[in-house]
Amino acid sequence: MKSHCLLTFVIAWIALVATAQEQLTNLPTIYINTYDGLAITSKVEYLYADFTMVDGLDTLRVDSLRIRGRGNSSWTYMNAKKPYRLKFPKKQRLLGQGFANAKNWVLLAQADDKSFLRNAVTWEMTRFIGMPYTPGYRFVDLVLNGQYRGNYMLCDHVDIRKQRVNIYEQELAIDEDDTETDISGGYLCEVDGFTDEGETYFQTAHAVNIRIHSPEEDVINKRQIEYIRNVVQHFEDTLYSANPAGYKVLVDSTSFMGWYVGGEITANIDAYWSAYFFKEQGDSLLYWGPLWDEDLAYNNTTRMGDVTQKLMADVGHGRKQAGKWIDQLKVGTDWFWPDVMRHYSHYYERGLTDHMTQAIDSLAELLRPSAEKNFEVWDIEEKVYEEIELFNTYDGYVNALRNFVQAHNDYLLQEFATRSGITPPDTRLDTLQYYRLHIHGDTTLVLGIAEATEPDEPATACLRKSDLTDTSQQWQVRTYEEGWQLINRSTGLALSDYNLSTPYSYALVTYPVATDDARQIWTLSEGAYEGYYNLTNVSTARIIDNRRGVFKDGNEVISYTTSTSDAKASNRLWSFEAVASRTDEIQTALHSAMQTPDYALRFVPASRRLRFIAADRGLLDFIVSIYDMGGRQVASFSAADGYTLSSTLPSGTYIAIWNAFGTRQSIRFNVK
């Protein structure tokens, strides 16, 4: 009878636990219970625990999880929302297919980042700028020993393995007398201002502390330490030599510049205090990244005041660590700032700010239910560490982050331009406007098009008497790294320098838009009269000219060889008049299409194909992001292009989110 009662009790207890462990919001919920309910008080000693993650219909249960505290300053914050390190008995693929299968994971509390977005937005940015490794992540709710602890980020631990830092791992201990084994890699290292004596580290000749994360302390030997020390010291010695440019053959320049520029984009005051880099076996170069620990970034610390218009190269906390290396480059060379400007402007022009702000908006929408629940436990207005601004709403923190990104990215463009002496990309024209181009010699005449004389011949450019109702006199502009493209509103064709029939003057024609054709790209240079510009073709170097200076309706507009008089030539100077907003047009067109999401965005389950339906596909110039129900981004694509989901993407419910012309839209769809 007693056995029967005990069995009934056990079954009832199991049922109670299963019922209690439910998904609390749209994000996965993680339940961790330490054995005997012990509190986690150490960053060194692990406690054993059981682990459950509830994610929709999927539930992962693991016994014998080990958990400990982690972090430096974040472990000492005044509130009890702490970060943790997890170690599973077997490898787990916690972020899904395409991400790491590993034992070691991290739960970031982000207690001082009440937007919860700074790390995630940084990693979306580093993917955009092509850094070689970016951590994977998803947002979760955490229940620890029966208490709801708030919103957390479950993310990769920085280590060597596939889908993380994917280099060769020196796993086995090597005898120090062994001179045959290749010890040229891999090494995972960190410039670490917190490193103390007794840890696996070395210090460079200029007192920069280097921690070696892999090979680990119980594997690495003195020969390996000496090898990587010499590699790093050679890099540093080169920076301090008479020819610091020699460093370029010692590092992967793209990742090195990405690391520097990334630190400036995030305005992370600790960018040089803690900096990861790695070296692959058989490869002489040092690679940089990933960016990590961004809680204090994006103007979230009082330590340096408002950093909206400051460079970390000037004020960053790690100036006595990796900042020393940047100092050598910025003051010891005349090419560092031009390199930075070229690298940064490349991504700025391709939509860096839009990419980051869209990530902020999309992730904030996914996080909002969990954020609201989080602030039922933690005071939304509590100053946890060094926050500059405190708000009484979640959107207050999100908006502050978005505004900083927009203002700071613009500042960086101008500051890098000033320090490099390179003119920043043109921002005088708005891509969401239609323009008329008035010629200086007679402002009643504008750039238009003539009808083609033959059915198969392209239309040529000519002067037209100004008529606001004539859309063939209106031009959309698109920006590229090299210059501008002019697209006729009426025909949708681009102004092109194509006709090569005569040696000196060439009729301008309109051709189908081609993004890779330099004959459709024009640069603007200021004329002698305010508001007027010369337009020069990138491919042919010829200038747009009113043929023979005849100012009348229908006169041919051509390209012609440049001269020293261009800036004052009334037949070669053009002003831009904004006459219509593309935003209004786009919003009107898409509003009707988006009344029903199935009409706006079609998903074909059989082919896993997503595509937008719109009367004018040229209006679909925005990016769509796809997230799973755990808040992890799985894809992004141009609305105009559509997208086919990977066959490896698991079945389930997904959310498509886009931000188009001031309106955020989202739909859910099911993948089978």
Q: What is the pLDDT of residues 226-247, one digit of tens each?
A: 999 999 999 999 999 988 888 8
- Whether residue 585 is predicted with pLDDT greater than 50 in this model: the reply is yes
* Pair of tokens at residue 529: 């009269």
Say whether both 240 and 381 belong to one domain: yes
Predicted pLDDT of residue 426: 62
User: Could you say which of 523, 546, 579 is where a domain stops?
Assistant: 579
DSSP state of 378: S
Say whether both 414 and 442 belong to one domain: no
Say whether both 112 and 197 belong to one domain: no
- Whether residue 599 is predicted with pLDDT greater than 70 in this model: the reply is no
pLDDT in tens, 620-647: 767 787 877 666 677 777 777 778 887 6
Say whether both 571 and 637 belong to one domain: no
Say whether both 562 and 600 belong to one domain: no
pLDDT in tens, 340-359: 998 898 888 888 998 999 99
Nearest to 112 by CA among 81, 148, 70, 143: 81
Predicted pLDDT of residue 160: 94
pLDDT in tens, 107-128: 999 999 999 999 999 999 999 9
Bridge partners of 202, per DSSP, are 210
Query: How large a percentage of the chain has pLDDT more than 90?
Result: 55
User: Could you say which of 363, 387, 420 is where a domain stops?
Assistant: 420
- Whether residue 593 is predicted with pLDDT greater than 50 in this model: the reply is no
Predicted confidence band at 405 (pLDDT cuts at 50, 70, 90)? very high
Predicted pLDDT of residue 528: 86
In sequence order, what are the residues at sequence separation of 6 or more whose Cβ sits closer than 8 angstroms to the Cβ of residue 241? none
Say whether both 336 and 299 belong to one domain: yes
Q: What is the mean pLDDT of residues 83-92?
A: 96
Biggest CA pair distance of the chain = 111
For residue 613, what is the domain's CATH number? 2.60.40.3080
Say whether both 267 and 355 belong to one domain: yes
| 337 in a structural domain | yes
| 173 in a structural domain | no
pLDDT in tens, 150-196: 999 999 999 999 999 999 999 778 887 788 899 999 999 999 988 76
- For residue 284, the enclosing domain spans 187-420
Predicted pLDDT of residue 79: 65
For residue 547, what is the domain's CATH number? 2.80.10.50
Predicted pLDDT of residue 589: 41
* Pair of tokens at residue 17: 């636990």
- Whether residue 254 is predicted with pLDDT greater than 60 in this model: the reply is yes
What's the total number of domains in the chain?
A: 4
Say whether both 112 and 221 belong to one domain: no
Say which residue, 636 or 446, is predicted with more confidence: 446
Predicted confidence band at 499 (pLDDT cuts at 50, 70, 90)? low
| 13 in a structural domain | yes
Task: Please report where in the chains the tokens 């207890």 appear, as a residue.
Answer: 13
Predicted pLDDT of residue 13: 39
| 376 in a structural domain | yes
Say whether both 274 and 142 belong to one domain: no
Say whether both 572 and 615 belong to one domain: no
Say which residue, 611 or 230, is predicted with more confidence: 230
Predicted pLDDT of residue 324: 94
Say whether both 622 and 528 belong to one domain: no
Q: What's the mean pLDDT when you consider all of the chain? A: 86
Predicted pLDDT of residue 6: 41
Q: Cα–Cα distance between 51 and 60 in angstroms, integer?
A: 8
User: Could you say which of 156, 172, 198 is where a domain stops?
Assistant: 156
| 170 in a structural domain | no
In sequence order, what are the residues at sequence separation of 6 or more whose Cβ sits closer than 8 angstroms to the Cβ of residue 365? 657, 664, 666
Q: What is the dihedral of CA 407, 410, 411, 417, to 10 degrees?
A: 180
pLDDT in tens, 471-485: 999 999 887 767 889
Cβ contact 52:21 at 8 Å: yes
| 586 in a structural domain | no
Cβ contact 65:31 at 8 Å: no
| 166 in a structural domain | no
- Whether residue 20 is predicted with pLDDT greater than 70 in this model: the reply is no
In sequence order, what are the residues at sequence separation of 6 or more whose Cβ sits closer than 8 angstroms to the Cβ of residue 488? 449, 472, 474, 475, 476, 494, 495, 510
Predicted pLDDT of residue 376: 97
**Range from 248-262, 313-327, 478-492 carrying the lowest mean pLDDT:** 478-492
Say whether both 398 and 468 belong to one domain: no
Predicted confidence band at 661 (pLDDT cuts at 50, 70, 90)? low
Residue 600's region, left for phi above 0, alpha for psi from -120 to 50, else beta, is alpha
Q: What's the half-sphere exposure (Cβ side, CA atoms, 13 Å) at 568?
A: 2
| 169 in a structural domain | no
